[in-house]
Amino acid sequence: MARVVVVTPNPAIDVTYGVTDQSPGETHRVGSVERRPGGKGINVARGLLALGHDPVNVLPLGGGAGDWIAAELAALGLAASVTPIAGLTRTCVAITDPHGHPTVYNEPGPLVAAAEWHALLADTARQLRDASMLVVSGSLPGGTDDTVIGELVAVAKAADVPVLLDVSGASLTAAARAGADILKPNAQELLEATGELTLDAAIDAVRSLGAGLVVVSRGTDGLVAVDDRGAYSVPAVSGVTGNPTGAGDAATAGLAAALLDGLPVADALAWAAALGAAAVLRPVAGEVDLDAFHRFLANQATN
């Protein structure tokens, strides 16, 4: 069991509404409501915990929403080290219906002051003293400079701990320039961040900036990866339907867990694909179906 520090720069209360149908401009009756502590990093931590690792969440929290998230993390058995902030932690809403992909509304998040980021970076450094990996996952709150991402990578390098980042936009290229050990964007995020027209060119672009292993999720087309040893790919798990919100976070958790267990990159991609698919089977982000995960892995091994 490895201790993993997971930084969620922009946590949220994730609210999932279940409706029978969606029509813009109309009043809808909500059939079901789920509230969970959310943000991509928290979802990753939940996946790591399910796979037997020991994540500690490092995150900025503020106001009553922040207090609620801290209490819920404790109830889930997830360790947390909180940096208090003056702003109010955001809420994000996903609306699901039986007919298609969820509609998601993500608030930008509160302004986090420079002194608050400094405190979070210092706390991250403390938590890394006995950790095996740093994972940074999710967006930065509105108005935050992307230099924070480079500083997080630098903190990991100073602690001699590998760092895996699932970030997008300017944060992705900032992570590559800082020498991130592992980058795990999806295909659209990577193309948009680099401005390249093909996935191969985009992967080459971030590797030329300084990234090590680059793992790209491509939805139903599976995952590809490139490092100094070569290129790898695995297909997506077929025939899985449900709520894809949080599947990418589960894939990040599966990738991290496999690498922490010492598995080669090809096997780590299989873990990522299997845990991502196992998350689709659950009604809300952050949960995974472990029986399905093991079944998917076994099926991949026999194909």
Residues with catalytic function: 249
Neighbouring CB atoms inside 10 A of 262's CB total 9
Decide if 55 contacts 41 (C-beta within 8 A). Answer: no
Decide if 221 contacts 236 (C-beta within 8 A). Answer: yes
The helix or strand, by DSSP H or E, that contains position 93, with its residue range, turns out to be: strand 90-96
* Distance, CA of 68 to chain centre: 21
The helix or strand, by DSSP H or E, that contains position 71, with its residue range, turns out to be: helix 63-75
For residue 276, which of 262, 260, 258 has the smallest C-alpha distance?
A: 258
How many CA within 13 A on the CB side of residue 219? 8
What secondary structure, in 3-state letters, does 4-42 show? EEEECCCCEEEEEEECCCCCCCCCCCCCEEEEEEECHHH
Separation CA 266–CA 104 (nearest Å): 32
Secondary structure (3-state) at 247 = helix
